[in-house]
Structure 1
Amino acid sequence: MTPAPIVISMGDPAGVGPELAAAAWALSATAGLPPFAIVGSRRVIEQAALRRGIHAVVTAIRDTDDAAAVFDTAIPVIDIGDGTYAPGEPDDAGAALALASLTHATELTRTGKASALVTGPIAKSRLAHIGFDYPGQTEFVGAACGVAATDAVMMLAGPHLRVVPVTVHVPLGDVPGLLTTDLIVRRARIAAAALARDFGLAAPRLAIAGLNPHAGEDGRMGHEDIAIIAPAVAALRAAGIDARGPLPADTMFHAQARETYDVAICMYHDQALIPIKVLDFDEGVNVTLGLPIVRTSPDHGTAFGIAGTGAARPGATVAAIAMAGACAARRA
């Protein structure tokens, strides 16, 4: 069965999202990307493409059914309203357009009109200014799909590494109090199930990072590794999941160590994101696990400072579309 086209929310029109979506279309044949449609403003996409040096036809379509028919010769855009293209100059009108794009693209995917959702970068502070009450797009998409925030799990994936942070956008000082054995087990189980379902890994191997230096060194550098993380590893193993740890995080990410696992379950944001951004900065993909839909996103922000200059590299957007397509094909 051929999956429906993918939809891409264009992100903030003042950021790099619109131009990188257009750049991904220009690279689609050589990169082997499946058909997709951009949800947003046709005029913004057209102007962003031209600023990027992409002289392409940008065609407004009514819905995803029309995307595949025009994809080879034009950039298909589900036009949800006019917008202003002013790269590097974010404003509330642009944030509202970005939110409308995200909302419509999520609904198209949730209802099966699209096989996967790729979300363009947004500015959380701008969205909060217009009433967006979510920490980020992951939580918004999860809520739209009826999935609890604790069950919408963020995984960052690239050619060299996959990581899942157990706690995400919280102050570092709050992390020890937020970690529980149940939370680690739940997120690790969701990760294992998603790797089997969407990535074709029948028996995924999980490396569970410790919280403290040297994984606590038998309690001399903190008690969380013994009291919270070790019981989670034991519970995962009892459930038949190939998990080991808690492991010292400072020795988990060199090349030889990475060969021993399929995903690293990390205790906090930077423990997960620093290594993957070192290894896979231009090809990192944010994947939301635990959803009834496939959702990916390039692992970078709006980059207002370089929007419209041609300096933004499209690798992560191309990788996000390719990964979304591969996951959707496995589900189909």
Structure 2
Amino acid sequence: MSDAPVILSCGDPSGIGPELAAKAWEALGSTLPFVWIGDPAHLPRGTRLREVASPAEAMSAAGAGLPVLPHPFPAAALPGQPAPENARAVIDVIARGVDLVMRGEGLALTTAPIHKKALKDGAGFAFPGHTEYLAHLAGGAKVVMMLAAPALRVVPATIHIALADVPRAFTPELLREVVRITAEGLRRDFGIENPRLAVAGLNPHAGEGGAMGCEERDWIAAEIESLRAEGYALAGPLPADTMFHPAARARYDAAICAYHDQALIPIKTIAFDEGVNVTLGLPFVRTSPDHGTAYDIAGQGRANPSSLIAALKMAAQMGAARR
């Protein structure tokens, strides 16, 4: 057990985040101490909790109740109905969690889901998502988003942009950056000494020699060859439609994909309840469950905590590896 807990930000209190935090504590207890930052009034009625003044207190409090580092919110949390008054507090909790982890008071940061539009409407949130905001808080760090599960790890090179914009955004410079950050993250945080990376083509059938697109022929293959010469273990460009069956997955440690859905559709199909969002390239460990706020079931007690539990466990393992 580490000498510091994982920090869990509350996310959108009108979503399923608060009930997932309570369920995660019921499953983990003191076996994996974490401290939840948020308004105690937003937790489900009857939640066993222990308010703490610092993350260090969570290490002993976790056996008796969910350790809570109180962060007052201006409004109540109505399930499925985001309150604009709470948007700024949601953002501030994320920043507070980052500060605690950067100062060594937390082993790692796990973030509960946020609703980007609700934050934009309520507080002018200027970032496409958690990943970009965390990079900003870390001083403009170059980061990549990895979705990880026991059966598969995927990295979308481009993330929250329109599909029509992908061919312009997916550049040789971006591919090199993503390969380097991913390989370093797998070495540092996952203990894989020589990571094997598979690079998907941008086009159907990886362009099929230019018949279905020219990017693979014109530059992707050459960039992969150049990176191989630097010592990276790379395969590709590969047709994305044949990369994710069991035999193919056994040949690599992570798949690098050109765009969001090319990466997220396979992992959400294979491991919907086990997927973990990991931000590689930050000066601290950050994980998140691979799902959203689920307004439609919030407050009903139906939310599955499996992905949050997996995110907390992965955060603890990665944090311990770094330390």
TM-score between the two structures when normalised by the length of structure 1:
0.94
Unaligned runs of 5+ in 2: none
SS in structure 1 at match of 2:210: coil
In 2, Cα distance between equivalents of 1:183 and 1:105: 29
In 1, Cα distance between equivalents of 2:321 and 2:216: 36
Map of 2:105 onto structure 1 = 113
How far is the alpha carbon of 1:95 from its aligned partner? 2.1
In 2, Cα distance between equivalents of 1:58 and 1:97: 21
How far is the alpha carbon of 1:56 from its aligned partner? 4.0
AA aligned opposite 1:117: L
In 2, Cα distance between equivalents of 1:123 and 1:56: 24
**CA distances 1:270-321 after superposition (whole Å, capped 9, x unpaired):** 0000000000110110000001100000000000000011221000000000
Map of 2:311 onto structure 1 = 320
Is the Cα–Cα contact under 8 Å of residues 207 and 215 in structure 2 kept in the other structure? yes
In 2, Cα distance between equivalents of 1:187 and 1:165: 9
In 2, Cα distance between equivalents of 1:178 and 1:102: 28
**CA distances 1:91-123 after superposition (whole Å, capped 9, x unpaired):** 212322311211211111122111100001000
| Match runs of 1:130-169 below 5 Å | 130-148=123-141, 151-169=142-160
Which of 183, 206, 228 is the matching residue for 2:174?
183
Is the Cα–Cα contact under 8 Å of residues 33 and 322 in structure 1 kept in the other structure? no
Structure 1 residue 331 corresponds to structure 2 residue 322:
yes
After TM superposition, the structure 1 stretch with the greater mean CA deviation from structure 2, 83-92 or 267-276, is: 83-92
SS in structure 2 at match of 1:217: helix
Is the Cα–Cα contact under 8 Å of residues 185 and 235 in structure 1 kept in the other structure? no
In 2, Cα distance between equivalents of 1:320 and 1:33: 15
Structure 1 residue 59 corresponds to structure 2 residue 57:
no
Map of 2:32 onto structure 1 = 34
In 1, Cα distance between equivalents of 2:169 and 2:80: 36
**CA distances 1:141-200 after superposition (whole Å, capped 9, x unpaired):** 11111134xx21100001211000000111101111111112101111100110011001
AA aligned opposite 2:244: F
Q: Supply the RMSD in Å over aligned alpha carbons.
A: 1.3
AA aligned opposite 1:220: A
Amino-acid identity (%): 48
In 1, Cα distance between equivalents of 2:234 and 2:171: 17
AA aligned opposite 1:105: G
Is the Cα–Cα contact under 8 Å of residues 49 and 64 in structure 2 kept in the other structure? no
Change (3 A) 1:3 1:183: farther
Unaligned runs of 5+ in 1: none
Is the Cα–Cα contact under 8 Å of residues 111 and 288 in structure 2 kept in the other structure? yes
| Match runs of 1:291-330 below 5 Å | 291-330=282-321
Structure 1 residue 260 corresponds to structure 2 residue 258:
no
Structure 1 residue 124 corresponds to structure 2 residue 116:
yes
SS in structure 2 at match of 1:245: strand
Is the Cα–Cα contact under 8 Å of residues 11 and 121 in structure 1 kept in the other structure? yes
| Match runs of 1:215-234 below 5 Å | 215-234=206-225
TM-score between the two structures when normalised by the length of structure 2:
0.96
In 1, Cα distance between equivalents of 2:128 and 2:210: 33
SS in structure 1 at match of 2:168: helix
Structure 1 residue 84 corresponds to structure 2 residue 82:
no
SS in structure 2 at match of 1:288: strand
How far is the alpha carbon of 1:57 from its aligned partner? 2.5
SS in structure 2 at match of 1:218: helix
| Match runs of 1:242-253 below 5 Å | 242-253=233-244
Map of 2:279 onto structure 1 = 288
In 2, Cα distance between equivalents of 1:63 and 1:134: 29
**CA distances 1:20-54 after superposition (whole Å, capped 9, x unpaired):** 0111000004xx85211001111212xx2x3xxxx
Which of 73, 82, 89 is the matching residue for 1:97?
89
SS in structure 1 at match of 2:255: strand
SS in structure 1 at match of 2:295: coil
Map of 1:69 onto structure 2 = 60
In 1, Cα distance between equivalents of 2:284 and 2:204: 37
After TM superposition, the structure 1 stretch with the greater mean CA deviation from structure 2, 32-41 or 313-322, is: 32-41
Map of 2:270 onto structure 1 = 279
